[in-house]
Amino acid sequence: MFNLQSIRDDFPILSTLMNDKPLVYLDNAATSQKPSAVIEAVENFYKTGNSNIHRGVFRLSEEATARYEATRKDFAQFISAEKESEVVFVKGVTEAINLIAYGFSQSILKEGDEILISEMEHHANIVPWQIACEQTGAVLKVIPVLDDGSLDISAFEALLSEKTKLLSIVHISNALGTINPIKSMIDKAHAFGVPVLVDGAQSAPHIKVDVKDLDCDFYVFSGHKLFAPTGVGVLYGKEKWLEQLPPYQSGGDMIKKVDFGGTTFKGLPGKFEAGTPNIAGVIGLSEAIQYLQKLDRKGAIAHEEALLIQATEGLAQIDGLRLIGTAKEKASIISFLFDDIHAHDVGTFLDSGGIAIRTGHHCTMPLLKRYNVPATARASFAFYNNANDVDCLVESLKKMKSFFL
């Protein structure tokens, strides 16, 4: 059963004051807060279990290695991956996409090939492909966004061709909250023999991800948005594709044998994990996964949907406020603006009342250019937020309007 108060008690930061007001944290799309179990797991590792992994024959190192590799197994099960070796630990989604873009530029792309992305992508799913195209002569193609914030699927279908070598697409827009029809898009791409990379930074915290059911070729995650520490993430890739990609970085633990005449690399996933990893972060990720697995996910999803409806209805009643992104299928992210008040002023005013939102371009400059706005204010909810948080947001925005106008 979904017990909201019990869940809120699990997140110590929610009981703190900000500017002498109870913290109302509505910036979950930027990073999530961490439950005590995750915080304590990281702290305890450094207190009683700190050691490097894979290379020690002493018990402390062996135990750290076992916990690190157990997390790989747990995460594979969490996303329904077929093999543990298809789970690669990275710093986050940005590094994961860069790893794949580098691999494609080195071993797959050639002049005239096409990479397909959308107009709503985060910069981390634009810039690496621009660089890959510059290096190989490939061409970047962009799926347009409709006025309501949904993708133009007809345009997507028209852009697919024998030249397309990869579809790299966001599952849930961090700026709009739009939930894209990923499964059907994957099916259509596969009909052309096109592999699909899914940016799951925003989706994993809000919906259950099943990579086997989606049949995606790559799916990337950031731990810090999944109630885990910063600096850790996961790249899932089908074995047949990971095998084709060269190492992204070299040295340290990704080697099998080094000689001045040449080097032999480890197999999967080791060849992509150079150097000492974020061991404590991975252990924190393990605790976050366990926390989510104990959670009533259906109840959590229903609760977030209710918060989104409440916020959408409340904001719609404020004169002069305009919602950006009103697609039918949305996650609990809502972007808005006032024509006469800059988004940064909105954020500063709300902060004075203890309310934390995100303002700016949200690392989606091309998307905001499409809407002809320089910045928006964004409120994003997690399952630990409550109806009072939404009420505080709406009432504070009403006060702000009277203050400025």
Active-site positions read 363
Give the CA count within 13 Å in the CB-facing half-sphere of 283. 22
CB 248 within 8 A of CB 99: yes
CA distances from 100 to 197, 339, 360 (A): 9, 40, 28
Q: What is the DSSP letter of 279?
A: H
CA distances from 58 to 50, 54, 63, 68, 251 (A): 12, 11, 9, 16, 23
Please give the structure tokens belonging to residue 29: 């799309």
CB 125 within 8 A of CB 175: no
Cβ burial, residue 284 (10 Å; 0-12/13-18/19+): buried
Pairing of strands 321-324, 358-360: unpaired
The dihedrals phi and psi of 220, each to the nearest 5 degrees, come to: -120, 145
